[in-house]
Chains A and B, each alone.
Chain A
Amino acid sequence: ERLFTGDQVIRVDAQSEEQIKLLQILESEEKWNLDFWRHPVSTELPVDVRVPRSHLGALKEYLNAHSIPFTVMIDDVQELLDQEKAEMRENHIR
């Protein structure tokens, strides 16, 4: 089973069209292995992206370097999935 230990989901609030374009460049770069949950399309909608642990540092550097504001929406994806699984197990037993 695939694990997501240490993966984070970052919420990015792009402030300008230029920042949206920078995010779209990221989207097209496969080597980053990013999973966009909400795509960069306009400054009116947030962008959510699941980032593998191995690329977290680089992504945050990129965002900081371009002064693109972001927050961490999910600190550790696997932690949430473990909780979800435990809940399902409990429900199944019940």
Chain B
Amino acid sequence: QHNTRDFNFGAYHPLETIYSWMDTLVDQHPNLVTKLEIGRSYENRPMYVLKFSTGGTNRPAIWMDLGIHSREWVSQATGVWTANKIATDYDTDASLIAVLKTMDIYMLIVANPDGYVFSHTSDRMWRKTRSPNSGSVCVGVDPNRNWDAGFGGPGASTNPCSETYQGSSAHSEIEVKNIVNLIQSHGNFKSFISVHAYSQLLMYPYGYTCRSAADQAELDSVGRAAVQKLTSLYGTTYKVGNICTIIYQASGGSIDWSYDVGIKYSFAFELRDTGRYGFILPADQIIPTASETWLALKHIMEYVHDHPY
């Protein structure tokens, strides 16, 4: 793909196509976008983050990861569209200009590259990582039960064959550890957003406990306003709430970890579902899904920018 205009954003792509598209994006927006390798996956695939920055050092930053559960293909596809949107709208969108004037945005479009490749080549329904589990024939850990946030508590499994297997210890999965290392070494992230699919939810901490987060009222109000904007485009309805109340108690989740390490504006999206396709959302719904999600994301980014802490 020699030009991002040639790229079909309304299609699902294998990992190598996404990675090669990232290079094109960087080539076309050299003053805004850089590609960082934050480490390697269990099967030694690079994990690339797109960094959107207009300069400065160690600016306050917004983190976004997508596709930690590999079979949730619309999330990775939404990441590609969103990264392109940020790069192409940067010149014209006043609020984006304002955000990027003082903050950086980091996007990990494929948070679980081994799982993503496996879902393309061997098992479309693959959700976990691809690391072996000693003493078990079952492979992989649920990377969203592997964070050091109530690790091993309710809502995660100790059975390696389960889709919600927590892993041998917190951050045992290299994919999780790579993100943790980056966030901790940076030290100045103000927002942490994880994007999943599907069930049309916008969630905030906690999942490992059903008690309210200290900032619950504010997070709830930001979430509701973000969802109102999302809904304004196509009428897609979302529920907003903390993970435990709105779905189920789940320990070891990423946004609980980020919140507990001090990143107040921690959110998780569950993207669109038509009620007909689940994880097999047709590709013609990628752009509508990404477009509506963008409105919510932008609201959160603007809010984070306007409310320094």
Q: A residues bordering B, Cβ < 8 Å? A: 1-2, 4, 9, 11, 30, 35-39, 41, 45-46, 48, 50, 73-74, 77, 80-81, 83-84, 87-88, 91, 94
Contacts and interface: CB of A to CB of B under 8 A. Distances in A.
A4 B283 CA distance: 20
B280 A74 contact: yes
Interface string B239-264: 10000000110000000000000000
B21 interface: no
Interface stretch (B34-42, B103-111, B271-279): B271-279
Given A30-B161, A35-B163, A73 B248 contact: no
Chain A at the B interface: SS class: mixed
Closest 6 CB pairs of A and B: A91-B11, A2-B123, A41-B248, A80-B280, A37-B278, A81-B124
Contacts of B199: 38, 45
Interface in B55-80: none
Contact of B121 (A1, A35, A83, A91): A1
B44 interface: no
Contacts of A48: 278
B125 A84 contact: no
A88 B163 CA distance: 27
Interface in B109-123: 121-123
Interface in B1-30: 8, 11-13
Contacts of B239: 45
Given A38-B199, A45-B247, A88-B12, A74 B278 contact: yes
Nearest to A84: B280
B153 interface: no
Given A1-B123, A88-B12, A91-B8, A39 B248 contact: yes
A35 B125 contact: yes
Contacts of A77: 280
A2 B126 CA distance: 10
Which of B13, B122, B124 neighbours the largest number of chain A CB atoms within 10 Å of its CB? B124
B276 A74 contact: yes
Given A37-B278, A73-B278, A91-B8, 7 more contacts: A9-B278, A45-B199, A46-B275, A84-B12, A84-B280, A84-B282, A88-B283
Nearest to B249: A41
Which of B13, B122, B279 neighbours the largest number of chain A CB atoms within 10 Å of its CB? B279
Contact of A88 (B11, B275, B278, B279): B11
